[in-house]
């Protein structure tokens, strides 16, 4: 699984560090470690070794510590006194809460996208149609990782179309945290065909400029995805329907 599954993510590597201008070193180090986490190179629960990171990126430990503080603020790592910094492991309650928040944000994004001018909606619908075609091929070939990546692109396209920067930033943070748990379940088919059928309904609502239906479909789509995940993992928690 690579960071390419995340549509907004720009990977930063050690080779680029000395060539980038007007960007803080700690941000570049943060982006590199973020890539390592989201690729699954650094696994949930794994300790992040500051000297190793500094040596690999050829920087001092100061920007590494600053980067780790940023990642801790975003909820992707946790610092334990006298133990170090570890990639966060999400608890069942964390996953439930994140899915609830994602459902609200997806619903809002769907409402906003359905209210776009006709020309912009037509462009978005065409893009989402191609995304669905890609998901159909992935599902037919049982390529779960490819499906998952395209599913994220589908939802991100709608979020971006909403034109709300705060929405985009909040949504990105939630999905990045959920990605930590998804890395452990990407070998499982969690209802790709059912999910695709729901995507088709969402696109139809967008095509019809039906903001209320699009909002409802998006919110329930996320809730249904969570329920399918629970059924697959055998967990007892449930998320209220929107």
Task: For residue range 77-88, list pLDDT tens digits in order.
Answer: 999 988 999 999
3-87 sits in which CATH class?
A: mainly alpha
Neighbours of 205 (CB within 10 A): 22
Topology at the third CATH level for domain 92-233: 1.20.120
Burial of 29 (0-12, 13-18, 19+ CB in 10 A): buried
Least confident of 11-15, 101-105, 173-177, 219-223: 11-15
* Angle formed by the axes of helices 92-114 and 144-161, nearest 10°: 50
| Residue 166 pLDDT grade (very low, low, confident, very high; cuts 50, 70, 90) | very high
Contact 95, 180 (CB under 8 A): no
Tell me which residue of 128, 123, 227, 225 sits closest to 175, measured CA to CA: 225
Q: Which residue has the higher pLDDT, 1 or 216?
A: 216
Contact 124, 156 (CB under 8 A): no
Give this prediction's pTM. 0.81
| Residue 2 pLDDT grade (very low, low, confident, very high; cuts 50, 70, 90) | very low
Tell me which residue of 11, 14, 80 sits closest to 47, measured CA to CA: 80
| Residue 56 pLDDT grade (very low, low, confident, very high; cuts 50, 70, 90) | very high
Contact 28, 12 (CB under 8 A): yes
The average pLDDT across 214-240 equals 80
Same fold, 3-87 and 92-233: no
Please report the beta strands in 147-206, taking only residues with DSSP state E, as ranges in sequence order: none
As a whole number of angstroms, the distance between CA 21 and CA 4 comes to 24
Residue ranges covered by each domain of the chain = 3-87, 92-233
Contact 130, 108 (CB under 8 A): no
The average pLDDT across 123-144 equals 94
As a whole number of angstroms, the distance between CA 211 and CA 219 comes to 12
């Amino acid at each position: 699984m690579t960071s390419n599954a995340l549509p907004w993510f720009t990977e930063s590597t050690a080779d680029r560090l000395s060539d980038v201008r007007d960007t803080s070193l700690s941000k570049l180090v943060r982006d590199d470690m973020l890539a390592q986490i989201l690729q699954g190179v650094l696994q949930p629960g794994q300790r992040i070794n500051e000297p190793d990171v500094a040596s690999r990126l050829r920087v001092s430990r100061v920007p590494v510590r600053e980067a780790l503080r940023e990642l801790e603020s975003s909820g992707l790592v946790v610092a334990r006194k006298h133990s170090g910094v570890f990639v966060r492991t999400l608890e069942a309650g964390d996953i439930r809460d994140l899915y609830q928040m994602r459902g609200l944000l997806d619903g809002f994004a769907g409402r906003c996208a359905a209210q776009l001018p006709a020309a912009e909606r037509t462009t978005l619908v065409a893009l989402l149609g191609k995304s669905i075609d890609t998901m159909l091929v992935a599902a037919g070939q049982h390529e779960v990782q490819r499906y998952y990546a395209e599913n994220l692109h589908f939802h991100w396209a709608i979020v971006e179309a909403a034109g709300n920067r705060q929405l985009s930033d909040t949504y990105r943070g939630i999905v990045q945290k959920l990605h930590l748990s998804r890395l452990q379940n990407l070998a499982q088919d969690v209802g790709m065909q059912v999910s695709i059928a729901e995507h088709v309904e969402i696109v139809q609502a967008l095509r019809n400029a039906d903001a209320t239906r699009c909002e409802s479909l998006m919110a329930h789509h996320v809730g249904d995805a969570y329920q399918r995940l629970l059924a697959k993992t055998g967990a007892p928690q449930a998320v209220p329907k929107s």
